Amino acid sequence: MKTGFEMQRGYRPQIFAHRGASAQYPEHTRAAYLQALADGADGVECDVHLTRDEQVVLLHDPTLERTSNGAGAVSAFTLEELRRLDFASWKGADIPPEYGRLEEQLLTLDELLDLLADAGRPVRLALELKHPSPFGLRLEERVLELLMRRGWDPESSVLGSVSVGFMSFDPDAVDYLAATVGEEHLCMLMDRGDPESLGSLGDYSPLACHAVARIVRRAAAQGEKLITQRRAGVAGPGVDWVLAHEHTVARWIAEGVTLRVWTVDEPGHVELMRHLGVQQITTNRPADVRRQLLGV
């Protein structure tokens, strides 16, 4: 079987900036997204949670400790309370004045959409809905309400110059969105599901890590069914999953499934994704990956 690369000489995957240009600036901040746009990324990726007053904010973790000077669950704070925290200094990067003041670095989904609309060119948005959420599927409802209010078209999933895609590791979330959003705009995220791949659980007991790994594996199996059934037209595996399932990746691409692989930072992995014919890659280093793919 020929790879997508062999069938389409000279093509390159689309580049999504993972949480913005997050190798350079603090993830999910105004600076990270403005830099990603300046770097020429085809799209950006973000994670969303709800605040206590049900505002959609851009944060990866359900808690505040890692990326701010606050503590506790995101869901326990109102947006106004979160605005008082520092979400940028932990990175130790100097943010240029044109990328906003320190207190402007936390972004809502509304604010990110404004930044993308001001880019002056078409931009793709890969929006990850984080679960488990204390709000359940209310998270999805609030996101859809926000987009509809701004004039988003569910059929094309376009909002002005921004093409919106949705993704989650939670099959229930993807299945819920499938009632409103076309399969080509839905991405089922997948991980290996072994304890070693769950680095963020390093503080948990081995028993807890194995329990979470079982949940991830079960979700991945359900997710594969959603892809096979075409409830989700985009598969979102991690690099390690791709390395372990290259034949499945090749089959999916041959069958018309779009692959959006995360997080592709290493030059060797970038070349492998291009060789396999992966259509979209998510990276913390959009400028470096773009230079590699374009040969400049």
Q: Which residues are catalytic?
A: 18, 60
Q: In this structure, what token pair is assigned to residue 87?
A: 């979400």
Distance CA 19, CA 290 (A): 16
CB 233 within 8 Å of CB 186: yes
Q: Is 228 helix (H, G, I), strand (E, B) or coil?
A: helix
Selection from 291, 287, 277 nearest residue 11 by Cα? 277
| Count of all residues that appear for the chain in the document | 296
**Token pair in block for residue 222:** 């359900």
Question: Which of 255, 257, 253, 248 lies closest to 274 in space, CA to CA?
Answer: 253
Contacts of 140 (CB under 8 A, 6+ apart): 129, 173, 176, 177
- Whether residue 63 contacts residue 73, with contact meaning beta carbons closer than 8 Å, is answered with yes
Of the chain, the end-to-end C-alpha distance in Å amounts to: 31
Among 142, 127, 105, 125, CA closest to 47: 127
CB distance 60 to 47 below 8 Å? yes
Amino acid (1-letter code) at residue 209: C
